Amino acid sequence: MTYRLTPEHEELRAVVRELAEERIAPRAAQIDESREFPWDLKELLAKQDLLGAGLPEQYGGTGLDGISQAILVEEIARADATTSLIPMVQNLGALPIVLAGNEDQKERYFPRLASGEWLIAFGLTEAAAGSDVASNRMRARLEGDCYRLTGSKRFITHGSIANVLTVFALTDPDAGGRKGMSAFIVEADTPGFSAPRVEHKMGIRGSPTAELNFDEVQVPIANRIGEEGQGFKIAMATLDQSRLGVAAQAVGIAQGALDAAVAYAADRQQFGQRVVDFEGIQFMLADMASRTEAARQLTYAACAAVDAKVADLPYWTSAAKLIAGDTAMAVTTDAVQVLGGYGYISEYPVERMMRDAKITQLYEGTQQIQRVVIARQLLLRAGIGSRSKASAGPGAGS
C-alpha cells in the first residue's frame, strides 16, 4: 500500500497541534479528574469544523481523506485521549449511514452532525454480546409504519449524551444475529429511550460510556439503514473502517507519552547528570520513538487502503489497530518508567496516558479479535478461506 504525506497533511497537523497544545492539553488532567465530558472542547472542535471530517462536503462536512482524519484524531489524542473520542465517535456513529444510508437520511442528519449541533453514538455492544456480535438479543418488531425497539445496550461511548444513535437490533430473531439483525437511526428524545447508568472507568474518564435501555422505542421505517437483515454486515463494514480511529488515537497517546518522557529526561538530574544522558534511558526512548513511528506509518498505510477501497481492507485496518494499540500500551508504560516515581503520580500526565492507552487494546475489537480478522484475511489470500463460525466483532465498547 503506497501513500504520500502532502503539504496539506502537514498543514492540517500544524493547525490541529496548535489548537490541541493551547486549548486541549491544559484541560486534560481536569477532565480526567472530574470525569466530566468536555462540552467546551466539543464546542471548540465544532467551531473549527473538526467534527464533520468523515462526512461529504455536500452535507456540510469536510470530506477529508483517510490520512487527514487520522492526523486529526492523532494530534488531539496526543493532548487528551478523551477529547479525541469526540471526532472519533462522531465518525463511528455516522459511518453506518455513510456506508448504507439513503439520501433522505444523509440530508436529515449529516448537516447537524457536521456542524456539531448534534452528537451521534454507535449502539451495537450488549452486556452478553461483546466480541460475539452475532449473539445480540435486542429486538426490533415492525408494527404498522414503525419498528418498536426493546432491549438494552452496554458500553456505548457517548450513549448518554448523543442526540441520535445508530442502533442494531434483531428484526428476525429466528435468523440469528448474522442474518436477522438490522440497523436503525434512533433519536435520543424518543419516548422509551433512556441511559440509566454510565460506567466508572480506568481511563478516558471524561467520555461517558453508557448503558442504554430501549422500552418499546418507536423508530419509523424511514430510519432503518439499509434493508432488513443487513445489520451485521453494516456493523462489520463500519468497524472495518472505524478501527483506524482507534489506531490513530493510540498513535497520538503514544506520541504524547514519548514527548513527555523526553522532556522530563532532558530536565531531570540524578547522579550529577541529566537522566537522558544515561544510555539505559536513551535506549528506552529510542525504542518508544521507533515503535510509535512504525505504528503511525502502518496506520497511514491502512488509511490509504480505505481510500483505495482495497479488497483486503480488514487486513490493513486490523493490523494497524493491533500494532498501534499495543504500541500505545507499551510506550505509555515505558514513559511512566522513565519518569520513575513522578510518572506514577497525577502531577505528570503519563500515568493518565497509560490508563487511557489500555482502552485502545479493547474497544472496537479486542486485540485478539483483530488477530482473528487478520488470520482470516491471510487464509483468504492463500485461497484457503475461512470456515470459522466465530464472529469477528467489535469487542467491548463502541
Partner 1 sequence: MKIVVCIKQVPATAAEKRYTSDLRLDRSASENVINPLDEYAVEQALRLQESGAVENVSYLSMGPAQAGEALRRAMAMGGDDAFLVTDDALAGADEWATARVLAAALDKLAPDVSLMGMASDDARGSLVPGAVAAIRGLPLLSYASELRLEGNTARIRRLNASGFDIIEAPLPVVASVTDQVGEPRYASLKGIMAARRKTLETWSLADLGLSAAGVQGGALTRVVEARAPEAKPPTERIENVGADEAVTKIADWLAARKLI
**Residues that bind partner 1 in the complex, under the rule CB under 8 A:** 8, 11-12, 15, 18-19, 47-50, 53, 62, 64
Q: Nearer to partner 1 by C-beta: 49 or 187?
A: 49
Residue 49 C-beta: closest distance to partner 1, Å: 4
Residue 62 C-beta: closest distance to partner 1, Å: 5
Instruction: Find, among 226, 83, 67, the residue nearest to 157 by Cα.
Output: 83
Residue with cell 470456515: 387
- Report yes or no: 54 and 98 within 8 Å, Cβ to Cβ: yes
Residue 50 C-beta: closest distance to partner 1, Å: 6
Residue 248 C-beta: closest distance to partner 1, Å: 16
Q: How far apart are CA 78 and CA 297, in angstroms?
A: 16
- Count CB neighbours of 26 within 10 A: 11
Longest Cα–Cα distance of the chain, Å, equals 79
Residue 75 C-beta: closest distance to partner 1, Å: 12
Residue 231 C-beta: closest distance to partner 1, Å: 32
- Count CB neighbours of 224 within 10 A: 23
Instruction: Find, among 130, 118, 383, 364, the residue nearest to 247 by Cα.
Output: 364
- Report yes or no: 120 and 192 within 8 Å, Cβ to Cβ: no
Q: Nearer to partner 1 by C-beta: 11 or 104?
A: 11
Q: Is the dihedral of CA 256, 259, 262, 266 positive or negative?
A: negative
Residue 93 main-chain phi, psi, to 5 deg? -65, -35
Residue with cell 506509518: 297
Q: How far apart are CA 286 and CA 172, in angstroms?
A: 54
Q: Nearer to partner 1 by C-beta: 119 or 236?
A: 119
Q: Annotated active-site positions, please?
A: 364
Residue 370 main-chain phi, psi, to 5 deg? -60, -40
Grid cell locating 106: 444523509
Q: What is the dihedral of CA 87, 213, 225, 179, to 10 degrees?
A: 120
Residue 294 C-beta: closest distance to partner 1, Å: 24
Strand partners, 166: 122, 185
Q: Nearer to partner 1 by C-beta: 146 or 262?
A: 262
Residues 6 or more apart in contact with residue 237 via CB below 8 angstroms: 99, 100
Q: Nearer to partner 1 by C-beta: 48 or 58?
A: 48
